[in-house]
A and B are shown apart, each in its own frame.
Chain A
Amino acid sequence: MNFDFSDDQREIKRTARDLLAGRSSFERVRAAAEAPAPPAYDPALISELGELGWPGIAVCEEHGGQGLGAVELGILLEELGYACAATPFLGTVLAALAIEHAGSSQQRERWLPGLASGEVRGALGSAGAIVPDAPGAAVVVLLDDDGGATVLDTAQDGVTVQTVATIDPTRASGRVSARADVGEELPGDVAAAVGRAAIAVAGELVGISQRALEMTLAYVKERKQFDIPVGAFQAVSHRCAQMLLYTESARSATYYAAWAADAEPQRLAEAAALAKAAASEAGREVTASAIQAHGGIGFTWEADVHWLYKRAQLDAAFLGGTGTHRATLARLVSTRLHTMDA
């Protein structure tokens, strides 16, 4: 039993942290969000991430990826969440995950090399729901209500991507619909692919939570009232302790799920629900607490904590929120107990 990252994984994390600190400071995030038609992505960042091979980190080598796993992908997303990076990365890796794990060999050959190199942008989401990174995506994996999924070439007639302005101007979102005769079904295990996607989103939420916690700690150590740092007041310090509890809970569940996705896929469904439930709760609670602990400043447009809060809200709602996954888990456990008794 070893919950630690390998040296290589630690190196990926450190490299990502350093790179994004330079290329995706809050100044840059703000610039993307405050553009006339947000988000205004930085093309240099997109191509740099592509050159580094990040979009293909979990795509098999046969199709131009790095052939690494859910843990490494989770690390990258955690760091992108930590930076609140305004770049169309999430949708691309989620589409690639679904096509890689549930696509036909033809679908993989057609889409994976472009997605892995970052030259082709993708998105994944449910029909009728908000789909992150849908505007600008060349390929969308659209989930239907019955547990199936369709791969859509957005250049085709009959596919509509409607841009939706959400509360998060750092990421483009849209709704996707398609005529019934358009697109190809994903023949494989769609549920497992969606589980992997949920774990990846949980990774981003862990990073968002970690950043919100760190920003809050820095602020409450600095900000003084009654001649002492406000972080010395238990009403504030206990809130910070609670933020750590949420963040570490999400981290435990998400790291476990990312590991299980590759090492013990029979646990994937349950682990994914666990990770998404814990991380969605953490993202929302921790970023809300960050605003509160920053006081009036935290409620201003000028402070940066609101970018994290907004991203957390969208991520939490995406692919099922805390409540949905909790209910799923209770019923999974109930079924398991019933089977054991029978």
Chain B
Amino acid sequence: MDLTFNDEEAAFRDELRAWLGANDAGPEPQGDEDAHYRWRRDWQRQLADARWAGVHWPSEFGGRSATLTQSAIFFEELGRSRAPLPADVLGLLLAGPTLMVWGTDAQKERLLPTILNAEEPWCQGFSEPDAGSDLAALKTRAVRDGDDWVVTGQKVWTSGAQFAKWCMLVARTDFETPKKHQGLTYFVLDMDQPGVIVRPLRQITGEAEFNELFLQEARIPDDAVVGGVGNGWKVAMTTLMNERSGLAFFLQVRLRNQLDKLIEEVAARGMLDGAGGNAIAQKLGDLHVKAEVIRLTAYRGLTAIERYGQPGPEGSLTKWMWSQANQELTQLAVDLLGDEALTADSPWSYELLRARGNSIEGGTTEVLKNIVAERVLGLPRMR
């Protein structure tokens, strides 16, 4: 056991920290979602120009061939410097790595270069109104028509679709097979065509990060099939396996920053002083323990992958821990700061509302518990 970073990792952190010290994204635009997107896009371009956008990508594709630990360091430092995530996280973390595994040479050559600098951003067309956690139940159909596929159906919770050039689309191409995991195909869909209609979904925060996506005879050329016709489930699993890579470290640091902010505000009001402050200190300390445990458990997960080539139980737990901790933190802020934290212009009120999505997005806590119960603990399939 050695929980220090080796020389290469330390050098990586130093170089990045120095760069983040000299470069920043500028002031965050308030209230205007398009401006906010452009702010993150420009930030990604700054990162890409200095080769910091896709650090985990192999150098042949413009990355730094970073190890898992270096990738974790990247997201930690990004969070620590209070910089935003790059605009096209979906392209960098999901589409790019999926294409590297399953894409043809022509696909890689055409699609990878425009991910790093956010020139052609991505969205993910997996979930449907009747296929959420049960992804294989999806109904969007793709039918061959000459050299093209014609796609009809509806996708939902499609983050960033309003800005995306490409969509990772999973559709059914075989309607006869009795096994629903078979007969799916993974496509790259060009969003820029009349058959693709994007309708923003307003969230409880008032903003619209995600959308409904209506596909009305949208066309996809046959050479945009990824990983072969009928192989879509396997390709989609590659995408989903990458879903939580590295990002956990960014989210942990963000939680840490918010907790520190709350502790400072509470301490400044004298609420931690004396025996009377014990109850409040215990609540904040509970969240400190959770934040630390998320960080340590995420690092344990990296060790498991680096040593044994597969994630241990840790990977399934950190997202669950983080969403719970973030919800508890934002609720505690309201408890401790009073109703001023519930006014529309308080940053805490936004965090409170946004946190409700944490235990739903990217796998609900209930589904995570099922995964832990079945795959980690070996319990029989749930009823």
Do A and B actually bind? yes
Q: Give Cα A217 to B380, complex, Å.
A: 10
Contact A238 B369 (CB under 8 A): yes
Contacts of B306 in A (CB 8 A): 2
Within B334-383, the residues touching A (CB, 8 Å) are 366, 368-370, 372-374, 376-383
A229 within 8 A of B: yes
Residue of A nearest to B9 (CB): A1
Residue of B nearest to A217 (CB): B377
Contact B372 A217 (CB under 8 A): no
Contacts of A253 in B (CB 8 A): 289, 292-293, 296
Contact B381 A248 (CB under 8 A): no
Interface string of B263-306 (1 = CB under 8 A from A): 11001000010000010111111101110110011011011101
- Residues A331 and B272 in contact in the complex (CB < 8 Å), given A220-B379, A229-B380: yes
B143 within 8 A of A: no
Contact A3 B289 (CB under 8 A): no
A299 within 8 A of B: no
How far in angstroms is the closest Cβ of chain B from A227? 11
Contacts of A231 in B (CB 8 A): 373, 379-380
Contacts of B313 in A (CB 8 A): 244, 248
B3's contact among A256, A274, A328, by CB below 8 Å, is which?
A256
B382's contact among A71, A234, A260, by CB below 8 Å, is which?
A234
A25 within 8 A of B: no
Contacts of B119 in A (CB 8 A): none
Count how many pairs of residues, one from A and one from B, have CB atoms less than 8 Å apart in the complex: 173
Chain B interface size, under 10 / 10 to 19 / 20 to 34 / 35 or more:
35 or more
How far in angstroms is the closest Cβ of chain B from A330? 4
B297's contact among A220, A249, A327, A331, by CB below 8 Å, is which?
A249
Contact B373 A241 (CB under 8 A): yes
Stretch of B106-114, B150-158, B314-322 lying at the A interface? B314-322
Candidate in A255, A278, A334 with the most chain B CB atoms within 10 angstroms: A334
Q: Give Cα A69 to B281, complex, Å.
A: 32
Contacts of A217 in B (CB 8 A): 377-379
B1 within 8 A of A: yes
Contact B380 A333 (CB under 8 A): no
A326's contact among B281, B293, B304, B317, by CB below 8 Å, is which?
B281
B258 within 8 A of A: no
Within A187-246, the residues touching B (CB, 8 Å) are 217, 220-221, 228-229, 231-234, 237-238, 240-242, 244-245
- Residues A233 and B383 in contact in the complex (CB < 8 Å), given A252-B300, A333-B288: yes
Q: Give Cα A323 to B282, complex, Å.
A: 6
Q: Give Cα A274 to B291, complex, Å.
A: 11
B14 within 8 A of A: no
A240's contact among B3, B286, B297, B373, by CB below 8 Å, is which?
B373
Q: Give Cα A234 to B374, complex, Å.
A: 11
Residue of B nearest to A254 (CB): B296
Chain A interface size, under 10 / 10 to 19 / 20 to 34 / 35 or more:
35 or more
Contacts of A248 in B (CB 8 A): 297, 313-314, 317
Residue of A nearest to B264 (CB): A337
- Residues A3 and B1 in contact in the complex (CB < 8 Å), given A220-B379, A234-B383, A333-B288: yes
Q: Give Cα A240 to B372, complex, Å.
A: 9
Q: Give Cα A277 to B289, complex, Å.
A: 8
Q: Give Cα A234 to B4, complex, Å.
A: 40
Contact B2 A263 (CB under 8 A): yes
A284 within 8 A of B: no
How far in angstroms is the closest Cβ of chain B from A326? 3
- Residues A9 and B1 in contact in the complex (CB < 8 Å), given A232-B380, A241-B373: yes
A232's contact among B3, B278, B379, by CB below 8 Å, is which?
B379
A334's contact among B263, B303, B304, B382, by CB below 8 Å, is which?
B263
B307 within 8 A of A: yes
- Residues A259 and B1 in contact in the complex (CB < 8 Å), given A327-B278, A327-B282, A328-B285: yes
Contact B382 A252 (CB under 8 A): no
B69 within 8 A of A: yes
- Residues A325 and B285 in contact in the complex (CB < 8 Å), given A232-B381, A234-B370: yes
Contact A252 B3 (CB under 8 A): no
A4 within 8 A of B: yes
Within A47-68, the residues touching B (CB, 8 Å) are none
B5 within 8 A of A: yes
Q: Give Cα A274 to B290, complex, Å.
A: 9
Contacts of B4 in A (CB 8 A): 1, 263-264
Q: Give Cα A263 to B5, complex, Å.
A: 13
How far in angstroms is the closest Cβ of chain B from A259? 5
Contacts of A249 in B (CB 8 A): 290, 293, 297, 317, 321
A330's contact among B2, B284, B369, B372, by CB below 8 Å, is which?
B284
Contacts of B380 in A (CB 8 A): 221, 228-229, 231-232
B1's contact among A2, A229, A264, by CB below 8 Å, is which?
A2
Contact A237 B281 (CB under 8 A): no
> Can you list 13 residue pairs at the A/B interface with Cβ under 8 Å?
A1-B4, A1-B9, A2-B303, A231-B380, A233-B382, A237-B379, A241-B373, A245-B320, A245-B321, A256-B3, A330-B285, A331-B281, A338-B264
Which 3 residue pairs are nearest across A and B when measured between Cβ atoms?
A326-B285, A237-B373, A327-B281
Q: Which A positions have Cβ atoms within 8 angstroms of B?
A: 1-6, 9, 71, 217, 220-221, 228-229, 231-234, 237-238, 240-242, 244-245, 248-249, 252-253, 255-256, 259-260, 263-264, 274, 277-278, 323, 325-331, 333-334, 337-338, 341
Known A2-B2, A217-B379, A253-B292; 17 more pairs at CB < 8 Å: A1-B2, A3-B3, A3-B296, A221-B378, A231-B373, A231-B380, A232-B383, A237-B374, A237-B377, A237-B379, A238-B370, A249-B321, A252-B296, A278-B293, A326-B286, A330-B272, A330-B283
